[in-house]
């Protein structure tokens, strides 16, 4: 079941190899932030660690950066063990959630800092700083103090500062969370562009599933110190390995039922055909709201339901349906130009699922 073991991962060059890493914070009681985590991040990929707060995603990032040592396990960068290297010896840079720009330095001095610490010649530092300022479109503000520029501009400076030493890996700790919605959308595209232009491996931490789906080459979904699933956005969204992943990524419907041969009898009594992979007994099914279709009540194979509510969302309308045993299902219907969807509350309708849309996510 686990997509971790796809064969093509081994055929590509690995940038960061996290090998059975655990992190336990001392204290009473001790907290297991990471529990035997293994993941291989490929070179030049936009890799996202996604999960709710407290799932261990930031801890994993801090371990890769070297701000915390792992309790057990090892971290390799390009095949070299870096588990015990201090952060200043790792060719990895970080964009911090609060940016952490040096307030006593100008924009240009912030960007130059890493290069200066590496002992680069003055001319090279100057050229790279100019190049970075251009890359993030901040040339006009190079002599400003970091306290005199806006949040979005600080974000760009933080990016330029982390990219300037041309690290092998760039870590981004929820860098967009402090920005407003429009700016965040802009920066998402900007980040993707920068990753393509620089060819640097990006490891991006977020709790925003939409952000993860939009930007990532691959996503690792985390919860309670474990990685639950690793895969491309489409696979994570359409083939969640368990209930948590299905629920955390996007909106979804859950149906409980019992396996009977090649189909599942759900609690309302309807039979739904799904690939069971040899499962028996009680199972949980999931289906995305946009894969639920309404149809005439008497259509062949339709489930009978009643519309309990219609909620308008602009581009689409969420249609809440109740099966005869009370099971709730949400269908996402595209709004008509009038803003209506052509159904009314209380109406009896038939519903069916798009072929292949229903997934088994365990018991």
Q: Which stretch binds another protein (CB under 8 A): 100-108, 210-218, 317-325, 332-340?
A: 100-108
The single residue among 23, 161, 184, 218 that binds another protein, judged by CB under 8 A, is 161
Closest CA to 260 of 248, 242, 272: 272
Check binding of 359 to another protein (CB under 8 A). Answer: no
Find the shortest distance in angstroms from Cβ 117 to another protein.
4
E-state strands within 276-354: 282-287, 292-295, 303-312, 316-323, 328-334, 348-353
The single residue among 48, 58, 93, 291 that binds another protein, judged by CB under 8 A, is 93
User: Which residue's CB is nearer to another protein, number 103 or number 296?
Assistant: 103
Contacting another protein within 62-81 (CB under 8 A): 65-67
Find the shortest distance in angstroms from Cβ 294 to another protein.
51
The single residue among 87, 232, 250, 362 that binds another protein, judged by CB under 8 A, is 87
Per 3-state DSSP, the chain is made up of helix, strand and coil in percentages (nearest 5) of 30, 35, 35
Helix, coil or strand: residue 171: strand
User: Which residue's CB is nearer to another protein, number 161 or number 288?
Assistant: 161
Find the shortest distance in angstroms from Cβ 88 to another protein.
5
Check binding of 175 to another protein (CB under 8 A). Answer: no
Find the shortest distance in angstroms from Cβ 116 to another protein.
8
Check binding of 363 to another protein (CB under 8 A). Answer: no
Burial of 144 (C-beta count, 10 Å sphere; 0-12/13-18/19+)? middle
Q: Which stretch binds another protein (CB under 8 A): 89-97, 122-130, 134-142, 275-283?
A: 89-97
Q: Which residues have C-beta within 8 Å of that of residue 258, sequence separation ≥ 6?
A: 264, 265, 281, 282, 283
Q: For strands 316-323 and 271-273, give the pairing.
A: unpaired
Q: Which stretch binds another protein (CB under 8 A): 112-120, 191-199, 223-231, 270-278?
A: 112-120
For the beta carbon of residue 231, count every other beta carbon within 10 angstroms. Answer: 22
Indicate if the alpha-carbon torsion angle 97, 102, 107, 108 is positive or negative: negative
The single residue among 113, 237, 244, 353 that binds another protein, judged by CB under 8 A, is 113
Check binding of 92 to another protein (CB under 8 A). Answer: yes
Closest CA to 265 of 303, 322, 293: 303
Q: For strands 46-50 and 218-223, give the pairing.
A: parallel
- HSE at residue 33, side-chain half, CA atoms within 13 A, is 20
Find the shortest distance in angstroms from Cβ 14 to another protein.
22
User: Which residue's CB is nearer to another protein, number 54 or number 87?
Assistant: 87
- What phi-psi label fits residue 361: left (phi over 0), alpha (psi between -120 and 50 degrees) or beta? alpha
Check binding of 98 to another protein (CB under 8 A). Answer: yes
Total chain residues near another protein (CB under 8 A)? 24
User: Which residue's CB is nearer to another protein, number 28 or number 300?
Assistant: 28
Indicate if the alpha-carbon torsion angle 241, 244, 249, 250 is positive or negative: positive
User: Residues interacting with another protein, by CB under 8 A?
Assistant: 65-67, 86-89, 92-94, 96, 98, 100-104, 113-114, 117-118, 161-162, 165
């Amino acid at each position: 079941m686990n997509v971790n073991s796809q064969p093509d991962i081994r055929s590509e060059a690995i940038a960061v190899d996290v090998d059975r890493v655990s992190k336990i914070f001392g204290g009473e009681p001790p907290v297991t932030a990471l529990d035997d985590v293994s993941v291989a991040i490929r070179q030049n990929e936009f890799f996202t660690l996604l999960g709710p707060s407290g799932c261990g995603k930031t801890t994993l990032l801090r371990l890769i950066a070297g701000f915390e040592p792992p309790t057990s396990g090892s971290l390799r960068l390009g095949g070299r063990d870096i588990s015990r290297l201090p952060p200043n010896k790792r060719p990895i840079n970080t964009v911090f959630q609060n940016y952490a720009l040096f307030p006593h330095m100008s924009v240009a001095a912030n960007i130059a800092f890493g290069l200066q610490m590496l002992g680069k010649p003055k001319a090279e530092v100057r050229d790279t700083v100019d190049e970075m300022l251009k890359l993030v479109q901040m040339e006009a503000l190079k002599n400003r103090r970091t306290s005199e520029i806006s949040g979005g501009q600080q974000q760009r400076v933080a990016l330029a500062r982390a990219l300037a030493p041309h690290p092998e890996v760039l870590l981004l700790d929820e860098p967009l969370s402090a920005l407003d919605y429009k700016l965040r959308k802009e920066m998402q595209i900007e980040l993707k562009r920068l990753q393509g232009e620089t060819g640097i491996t990006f490891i991006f931490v977020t709790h925003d599933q939409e952000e993860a789906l939009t930007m990532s080459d691959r996503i690792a979904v985390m919860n309670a110190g474990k990685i639950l699933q690793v895969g491309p956005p489409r696979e994570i969204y359409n083939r969640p390995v368990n209930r948590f992943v299905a629920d955390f990524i996007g909106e979804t419907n859950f149906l409980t039922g019992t396996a009977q041969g090649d189909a599942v009898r759900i609690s309302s009594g309807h039979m739904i055909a799904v690939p069971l992979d040899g499962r028996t007994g009680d199972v949980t099914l999931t289906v995305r709201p946009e894969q639920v279709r309404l149809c005439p009540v008497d259509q062949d194979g339709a489930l009978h339901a009643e519309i309990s509510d219609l909620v308008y969302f602009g581009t689409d309308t969420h249609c809440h349906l109740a099966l005869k045993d009370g099971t709730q299902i949400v269908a996402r219907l595209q709004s008509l130009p009038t803003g209506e969807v052509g159904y009314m509350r209380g109406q009896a309708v038939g519903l069916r699922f798009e072929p292949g849309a229903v997934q088994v996510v365990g018991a």
